[in-house]
Structure 1
């Protein structure tokens, strides 16, 4: 996907991908507190970010670093469509907060443990997932929106945007992340061959 994105124009990206449910994101942004897109490692998450950037959304994506010069190549591909890249780490907290305060869209892949996490039930087993999406949503009032994307044919993609998860009375970051993971389960059940768990995630 990095190699493909490096050679695509904005028009190419928009022609290769469509997404249903974009009205949920547009509605969330009318509130003015930003939106957190919570997504699993499904399909081509980099294409999803590029698509959102190509549509004109102000996108901030938090990502891990790649080794050596590969990181520069990956960053170049990811930034081509206006996506701001923030590396995982302490500085990400401030960057995410500022992005949400400016009513931007923050994309967080959150189906694998990364940093402080919470324990959830995932396909009937205990797993640890990042608490960040829920913690930021509860603290800032930003909309928390589960999304996913899948490949429908070589070089062709379909995305889906859920309605925002409105916090319930007494909501905690643990309970809110469980609701996110519940949606991930449904996404994955629909396209199990397109979920990439890059490392063990279930508690023994």
Structure 2
């Protein structure tokens, strides 16, 4: 019953939100965010545990709570705009973006060199993908395989309608990695969410002064194919979507492959730190990232 309800809820979101006037829809999702924030369930407390690392241990509890409330509103804004995006015109999607640094990424692609765009869970990454494809740049991405399977299929169908090629994270063995490598070697764009490890092969890096695990995939693909590894951070700016393409993270000249991948992933974490610190309310991280949190059992502790 739970799986059927999940499919029904998301299906209702995609079918209903686009028909509701935008001011009303946004107000409803803001109210949902505030109710979730007041309830302080596991997701909100995990968000606060992650944001505590961003603002530091000495920041007042009131500051953390205000930030987590803004974070939940940002997170529900992502869901509202994702549900509504199929009803948005191409012009709306293009005109609401404010992008910095896209020229360097486009130059790589124009020269025939592939690009790995590595993103944290910030802002609206689905919009960023749609914005790129509408500008004439096809891209390939990877989706976490959700349960039930029908829910995963709906997300894949949604992103494919936006113009993206979507590959499953699991269930295909080495096939997904091989496809990504081929796309990069042919000069394509691969976009990967890269601030949370979903496998047992994550790399331990320093993030906000603490050990954290990030996926090895983006750096490994760049090292393997010679593609440019370019971090991308996202945020909300009033009615607009902010996108910043950061400078390429080069492949180190020295060290074996494992050392190079680790060094590149650490630099990726450093760039993510900068983007998250500038827009912490738009970091939608309601899961474990830091090593210390994996070493504890149960939900994060409740605050005062």
Question: TM-score normalised by the shorter chain: which range applies?
Answer: over 0.9
**Structure 2: runs of 5 or more not aligned:** 1-80, 293-304
Residue number in structure 1 paired with 2:152: 71
Residues 235 and 242 in structure 2, CA contact (< 8 A), matched pair in contact too: yes
CA–CA distance in 1 between the matches of 2:264 and 2:103? 22
CA deviation map 1:126-157 (0-9, x unaligned): 01110011111111100000001111124x21
Cα drift, residue 10 of structure 1: 1.9
Who wins on radius of gyration, i.e. which is larger?
Answer: 2
1:84 to 165, 179, 186: 165
| More strand, by proportion | 1
Residue number in structure 2 paired with 1:195: 283
Cα drift, residue 27 of structure 1: 1.7
Aligned runs of 1:1-204 on 2, under 5 Å? 1-68=81-148, 69-89=150-170, 90=173, 91-115=175-199, 116-154=201-239, 156-170=240-254, 172-204=260-292
Q: Give the TM-score normalised by structure 1.
A: 0.94
Cα drift, residue 81 of structure 1: 2.7
Note closer, same or farther for the CA distance 1:6–1:67 as it changes in structure 2 (3 Å cut): farther
Q: Give the TM-score normalised by structure 2.
A: 0.64
Secondary structure at the aligned position of 1:33 is classed as: coil
Q: CA RMSD in A?
A: 1.4
Question: Size of the alignment, in residue pairs?
Answer: 203
| More helix, by proportion | 2
Higher relative CO (Cα under 8 Å, sequence separation at least 6) belongs to: 1
